Amino acid sequence: MNSSIIRYILGHVLKIEGILMLSPCAVALLYGETAGFYYLGVAVLCFVLGLLMTLRRPASQVFYMKEGCAATALSWIFLSVFGCLPFWLSREIPSFTDALFETVSGFTTTGASILSDVEALSHCALFWRSFTHWIGGMGVLVFLLAIIPMSGGSHINLMRAESPGPSVGKLVPKIKSTARILYLIYLGMTVLEIIFLLAGRMPLFDAVCTSFGTAGTGGFGIKNDSMMSYSPYLQWVVTIFMILFGINFNAYYFMLFRNFKKALRIEEVRHYLLIILASTAVIFVGLVRSSLHTADSLRHAAFQVASIITTTGFSTADFDTWSQTAKTILVLLMFIGACAGSTGGGIKVSRVVVLFKTIGKELNSYIHPKSIRKVKMEGKPVEHEVVRAINVYFVTFTLLFCVSVFLISFEGRDLVTNFTAVAATINNIGPGLSLVGPTQNFGLFHIFTKYVLIFDMLAGRLELFPLLTLFHPTLWKDLFTKRAK
């Protein structure tokens, strides 16, 4: 176990967080808010601790998957704990647990909030809250790989441990170049959305915060009604960009280098867009039948479908009042999620597609026992190891989901609230139904329940296994054995 490389990575993560935390300090200075001093103090603390942890370079910078998982999980925990301190110290969120919940929700791009009055926060707090979405969307370790000079060929393990989806590969031969390309695409699309929002006369501060929430598919709003009070044009812009950020970024890479045929051949993206169209159509028909204006029905249906499947969590309507069919579709979309290799959460469309194809393959083997049929994606056979990993993921996800619903049931809330609260956090959605619906918040839960949901948010963002690795006794045995030697 290469503990020194884990310490080195955590040190760099803290330094990056310290530098990034200077941005809300600038916002506080611009608006003349004293809360900025808390962000400055924590920024200095992060940078100093990070500097101390990186003064001594590790003898070996080669690490395997277990180091990658441990470094990733611990990095997100460090980010969240230090990131919540300004909220807590400034007393804008008096409870440490609530501050941690809000920050974990931000970094994991969940968007579930404990706040009943978002607009009461200072501008610097609102900015940091939304900025955590943007940081967590692509991943801080991908950012680290893009800017920090680290040698060795095993850094794909770090990227795989953090990136959402069943598989991660290199777009170009060098991991550093891959990370830079991803962030350039991410930054470019964010700036483009800000421009379109400004064109619709959205204030600059609102446009920046909304774009951060859309890009990271997080969904923290800076208004108590989320996106409801903005114009139809602005809502359509956000709808389109939510869908775009839910697409596998490999498609944008291929389009960037004019390889349009390869981009169009990505099967997962086609299924993703088809699910959005079908879901929007069904909900739209239901809203029209309930006597809502046709244009409004289409806008609300498209917005909420895009918001839920991409796990963004913005809302333009209280969908908890919609028909049972519409709510059922939205709950199913919570689990499906966006594409692998996007900033979205959920199980991922590619996993769902492979699962259905695997079921089809098994059914075919019952009818034709001697036939040999392989699961294929984009015309290529899916390796048995990938299919096995996806099956294990589904089983683990189901077990963790059931245990979480059971644990929070002791609080005595209704089943719809408990079920959708876990669904909304483990899939990094944000709002659920009933007591955690789009017009409600998670502040009603007790401390124990909040920590269960915090765990679910982290587990969901890190694809379960990197976080669960921390609970494997062999990991710590290897760590302490190495230190003893």
CA distance 105 to 454: 8
CA distance 80 to 109: 12
CA distance 135 to 49: 20
User: Checking phi first, is residue 293 left (phi over 0); if not, alpha (psi -120 to 50) or beta?
Assistant: beta
Query: Residue 270, exposed/middle/buried by CB under 10 A (0-12, 13-18, 19+)?
Result: middle
Q: How many residues does the chain have?
A: 485
Among positive and negative, which fits the CA dihedral 212, 217, 221, 226? positive
Select from 187, 183, 209 the least CA-distant residue to 198: 209
Q: Tell me the backbone φ, ψ of residue 174, rounded to 5 degrees.
A: -100, 135
Among positive and negative, which fits the CA dihedral 117, 121, 123, 129? negative
CA distance 215 to 212: 5
CA distance 109 to 216: 6
CA angle, residues 6, 10, 12, in degrees to nearest 5? 120
**381, β-bridge pairs:** 376
CA distance 166 to 33: 44
DSSP annotation of 115: -
DSSP string, 381-392: EPPHHHHHHHHH
The answer to whether 339 touches 272, Cβ cutoff 8 Å, is yes
DSSP string, 6-67: HHHHHHHHHHHHHHHTHHHHHHHHHHT-TTHHHHHHHHHHHHHHHHHHHSS--S-----HHH
CA distance 47 to 148: 15
Sequence-ordered alpha helix ranges (H) in 313-414: 324-336, 349-367, 384-408
The pTM is what?
0.92
Q: How confident is the prediction along the chain (485 residues), in pLDDT tens digits per residue? A: 667 888 888 999 999 999 999 999 999 999 999 999 999 999 999 999 999 999 988 776 666 677 778 888 899 999 999 999 999 999 999 999 999 999 999 999 999 999 999 999 999 999 999 999 999 888 766 666 655 555 444 455 555 555 554 444 445 445 667 777 888 899 999 999 999 999 999 999 999 999 999 999 998 999 999 999 999 999 999 999 999 999 988 889 888 887 888 888 889 999 999 999 999 999 999 999 887 778 899 999 999 999 999 999 999 999 999 999 999 999 999 999 999 888 888 999 999 999 999 999 888 888 888 777 888 887 888 888 888 888 999 999 999 999 999 999 999 999 999 999 999 999 999 999 999 999 899 999 999 999 999 999 999 998 898 899 888 887 767 666 655 45
Q: Which amino acid is at 403?
A: V
